Structure 1
């Protein structure tokens, strides 16, 4: 298979991943309206952990090899951080809706660029810093802090974006020591332990139809992570990462059509600013990689 074919496949896989992620967010919001977030995330991680353990047991070396990490403590921190980020993200969907929450969450690539210097020691040029500043100006447009409509709840998806950006950077760091299979294993197992420690105290009965939605959420969670790993296997991250912004489009469509949310003009304008700034930082990062 040629490099072009690999990139094309990677792009389509990323598009599929962003669509599945958006569907997950919609189901999570629906279930969170009926049940507590802690139980929902816990059940989701139970299935995820079962999936990664089963996958690891069928690979060469089995579970023991999948669990062998050169940076165990960092893997535990990374996995726990993702589990906590999912809590915060789902809460933001319930409080703000999918449209506004995702408009703010789209800042995470900008946060990755801003934090890559202090966390990973990577060089960030002035052009990318300007783009980061413009991107956060877009967030201010979304939040409208000077027009009397700003709510503290609007900071929840920004916190989720920060946590996810930090998770992404730590994932890049552990990739220097561990394979993707090892990171995948630790993500599922530690996530299940962390969410169980909290969620088990919030268990409540779930009706039959809701269990169907819960099962769908579990299946989409496992499949999306598998497809994401596959996408990064067949194509360079810099080539497919810009397509991750499609999750904003898909999630907003679900919010508008299924949940009856509205798209305020300032949210649309701010989201465009954030996405354009993010795409510019990704482009500059790819240029830097090319020079290296």
Structure 2
């Protein structure tokens, strides 16, 4: 068993969020010039090879990684994640990194809200209050009714919902399957489901953009590897609040590299959502430590 090291876990989570933010910037560049599904398909081909390599190095090899008593749920998780990635990358193109990530930050609140009806978990009044405050923050970002709301924001909101559902299903399958098994299924299933439409929508890519594509594949594999190591050395509840740093890094890339602007309302709403999300994560951790009597 890997020795727990919370400080190392936090450092790995911070590094992971930075890598994923850079990955998002590269994804935005490629998706602005080529079909989104084709770009994500190529990324998933590399990702599938990566998960197969990881599985082959584990005890029992690929045969052990693929073994599951819930193949339907595992396959659905893989499809859902691949669809979410495509939707989110499309949101990067439509909204930019800053606003897309600002809307997407609501996914932990969606997980908290849906954990009751889907997983049967108890959600105390404090977490419900945090969920309510968080969605006030989303309204501040979207500003419906004031002539500023963009229907494109619904694209990022749809991605957040898909990712929240994926997170809940990941919790569900983890009750019987190992992390290695769940990791293997999302890589292979995603590649399988994206390949037919990706090949159908294939577009020639310039030599320079093939370089960016190679960078995207390496960044995706590196980010996932560091995330696995992060959860191996530290409890998820201890490091998860630091995942919000991806928003900070992605916004910095959007503003300073891609020339996007940071709207004051988007910044204010995002602060509200992040504060509510961190509070919900802290309450969930305290409840887990307190046992079934905790709120």
TM-score scaled by length of structure 2? 0.96
> How many equivalent residue pairs?
291
Cα displacement (A) at 1:197: 2.1
**Structure 2: distance between partners of 1:137 and 1:199:** 38
Could you say which residue in structure 2 is the equivalent of 1:195? 194
CA displacement, residues 14-66 of structure 1 (integer Å, 9 cap, x when unaligned): 00111111011100000011101010000000001111112222322221111
**Structure 2: distance between partners of 1:275 and 1:54:** 36
Could you say which residue in structure 1 is the equivalent of 2:104? 105
Range with bigger deviation, 155-164 or 60-69: 60-69
Range with bigger deviation, 133-142 or 49-58: 49-58
CA contact (8 A) 2:2 2:232 kept: no
| Aligned-CA RMSD value | 1.3
Could you say which residue in structure 2 is the equivalent of 1:77? 76
SS at match of 1:77: helix
CA displacement, residues 86-122 of structure 1 (integer Å, 9 cap, x when unaligned): 0100010000000000001000100010010011100
**Structure 2: distance between partners of 1:150 and 1:224:** 33
Query: Does 2:24 match 1:59?
Result: no
**Structure 2: distance between partners of 1:44 and 1:61:** 26
Could you say which residue in structure 2 is the equivalent of 1:160? 159
Structure 2: 5+ residue stretches without partners: none
**Structure 1: distance between partners of 2:2 and 2:166:** 32
TM-score scaled by length of structure 1? 0.97
Range with bigger deviation, 56-65 or 122-131: 56-65
**Structure 1: distance between partners of 2:258 and 2:84:** 23
Could you say which residue in structure 2 is the equivalent of 1:48? 47
Could you say which residue in structure 2 is the equivalent of 1:289? 288
**Structure 2: distance between partners of 1:63 and 1:289:** 33
Could you say which residue in structure 1 is the equivalent of 2:230? 231
SS at match of 1:113: helix
Could you say which residue in structure 1 is the equivalent of 2:140? 141
Cα displacement (A) at 1:149: 1.2
**Structure 2: distance between partners of 1:48 and 1:167:** 18
**Structure 1: distance between partners of 2:271 and 2:243:** 14
**Structure 2: distance between partners of 1:276 and 1:197:** 41
Cα displacement (A) at 1:2: 11
**Structure 2: distance between partners of 1:57 and 1:232:** 20
**Structure 1: distance between partners of 2:231 and 2:56:** 22
Could you say which residue in structure 2 is the equivalent of 1:222? 221
Cα displacement (A) at 1:127: 1.0
SS at match of 1:152: coil
SS at match of 1:22: helix
Cα displacement (A) at 1:70: 1.7
